Amino acid sequence: MKAALPILLIVAVGACADSGASEAEEIVRATLSDPESAQFEDVATSAANPDVVCGLVNSKNRMGGYAGNKRFIVTLSRKQAQIDPGVALSPAAREMFGGVVDSVAFDRLYRESC
């Protein structure tokens, strides 16, 4: 019986991790132009914050071709996804557009969160 307890604990922890990853994938899919085409890689819960899930997503763009892997960050409690925009804005443009996240800001956030 003692040997069964650690195995059950490992299975339970694995189920929680899969649940967060699955929820994060659904949140990311909701932001895509072709959600059904989404392919996910390296999806993992942040070691620094269990409310954050990071990974890579590749999906079809509006032209029907795959756009290539893009990094994403999901905050589960807010059900909010941020996908790397792949565009760097000048400091003046960042100030003009206010809360817009460019690739420089996203990169910093990704390194801090993931």
pLDDT tens for 30-47 read 999 999 999 999 999 999
Assign 15 a pLDDT band (cuts: 50, 70, 90).
very low
Residue 54's H or E segment, with its range, is strand 52-58
Asked whether residue 64 is assigned to any structural domain, the reply reads yes
* Residue whose structure tokens are 């996910």: 40
pLDDT above 60 for 114: yes
What range does the domain containing 33 cover?
A: 4-84
Asked whether residue 109 is assigned to any structural domain, the reply reads no
Task: Tell me how crowded residue 105 is: count the other CB atoms within 10 A of its CB.
Answer: 16
Asked whether residue 57 is assigned to any structural domain, the reply reads yes
Asked whether residue 26 is assigned to any structural domain, the reply reads yes
| Average pLDDT of span 41-66 | 95
Assign 111 a pLDDT band (cuts: 50, 70, 90).
very high
Assign 13 a pLDDT band (cuts: 50, 70, 90).
very low
- Closest to 76 in 3D by CA, of 103, 46, 105, 109: 46
Cα angle 40, 83, 28 (rounded to 5 degrees) comes to 50
pTM, 2 dp: 0.76
How many domains, in total, are found in the chain? 1
Structure tokens at 47: 């070691």
pLDDT above 70 for 1: no
Asked whether residue 102 is assigned to any structural domain, the reply reads no
| Average pLDDT of span 6-19 | 43
Residue 92's H or E segment, with its range, is helix 91-97
Asked whether residue 95 is assigned to any structural domain, the reply reads no
Asked whether residue 103 is assigned to any structural domain, the reply reads no
Asked whether residue 76 is assigned to any structural domain, the reply reads yes
Least confidently predicted of 4-8, 59-63, 106-110: 4-8
